[in-house]
Amino acid sequence: MAAPVEPPLADPSPAARRPATVPWVAMYHSVGDCSDDPYRITVTPDRLEHQLTWLRRRGLRGVSVAELLDARARSEGRDLVGLTFDDGYTDFLTGALPLLRRFRCNATLFVLPGRLGGDNAWDPLGPRKPLLDADGIRRAAGEGVEIGSHGLTHVDLTRADDALLAAEVTGSRARLAELTGAPVDGFCYPYGTVDARAVEAVRRAGYRYACAIDPGPLTGPHALPRAHVGQQDTAWRLHLKLRLHRWRRRPVEGV
C-alpha cells in the first residue's frame, strides 16, 4: 500500500521565511533492534532511513547542533534541523552513521566519559546496551560528528550535590577534550531534567550550549528544547511534531 501523502505547508509569508526563533532539534538514542525497548529509546535503521528521507523531501537537512547554531548566528539555517544522539551507544557507528553519511547529514553525539566501554546500567528495565569506548568516540569524531558531554555517568543533575555536579559537568568536559583533542562545546542533561542551578553550572563550565527536553521558562542557549524521535514516528507524526514546535516556541534571547 502506498504511503499517505502529507499536506504541504502553506507558502510562508516573508516574516515566516526567517529561521524559527528556537531551532528544531531531534533527540535520538539507540539505532538497532527495538524488539525489547521499554523506554522507547530505539529506532531501527530502516525507520531512521525513512525519517531522514522525510527530512530530505521537505528540503531539510540534519546537522550537528553546533552547525545549526552557527548558521542561525548568520541569520541562516531555515533548512537545517539538529540531530542529536544521547548516551553514545556502540550502534551509533553501525546503525546511524552510515545512514547519516548516505543522506549527507551530520549529528551531535552526547557521550559519557565516565562509562567508556560500559553499558546503560542506569536503566533498570530492558536489555543492556553497550556504550562506545574511547576508540569508538574518536572514530565518530574523526568522521566529523560533533562530540558533546552527557555528563560523566548519567545522573540526574537536579539531585546532585555541589561536588557531584562539578564532576559531571566540568569534569566530563575536560575528559572529553583530552580524549578527542578538540574543544567540547555542547552538553546534554541526563534524563532531560534541568533546573536553574544545573543551567548555571553548565554555563560556568564554558559550554556554548546545552540540550534538555522541555525546559519551559529555562529555555535558552543552555537549555535548548528537543523533540523525542522514536520508532513510531512516521512522516505524519514528524510533520505534526515540527508544526507543534513552530507553534509553541517563543522568541528567546541568544538562540
Q: State the Cα–Cα distance between residues 91 and 45, nearest whole angstrom.
A: 10
What residue has cell string 529555562? Answer: 218
Per-residue pLDDT tens digits of the chain, which is 255 residues long: 444 444 444 444 333 344 446 889 999 999 999 999 999 999 999 999 999 999 999 999 999 999 999 999 999 999 999 999 999 999 999 999 999 999 999 999 999 999 999 999 999 998 999 999 999 999 999 999 999 999 999 999 999 999 999 999 999 999 999 999 999 999 999 999 999 999 999 999 999 999 999 999 999 999 999 999 999 999 999 999 988 887 766 656 666
Q: State the Cα–Cα distance between residues 154 and 166, nearest whole angstrom.
A: 13
Q: State the Cα–Cα distance between residues 219 and 139, nearest whole angstrom.
A: 32
Three-state DSSP class for residue 242: helix
Three-state DSSP class for residue 216: helix
Which pTM value belongs to this model? Answer: 0.90
Give the up-direction half-sphere exposure of residue 37: CA atoms within 13 A in the CB hemisphere: 15
Q: What DSSP assignment string belongs to 134-192?
A: HHHHHHHHHTTPEEEE--SS---GGG--HHHHHIIIIIHHHHHHHHHSS---EEE-GGG
Q: Which helix (H) or strand (E) holds 30?
A: strand 30-31
Tell me how crowded residue 117 is: count the other CB atoms within 10 A of its CB. Answer: 12
Q: State the Cα–Cα distance between residues 19 and 23, nearest whole angstrom.
A: 8
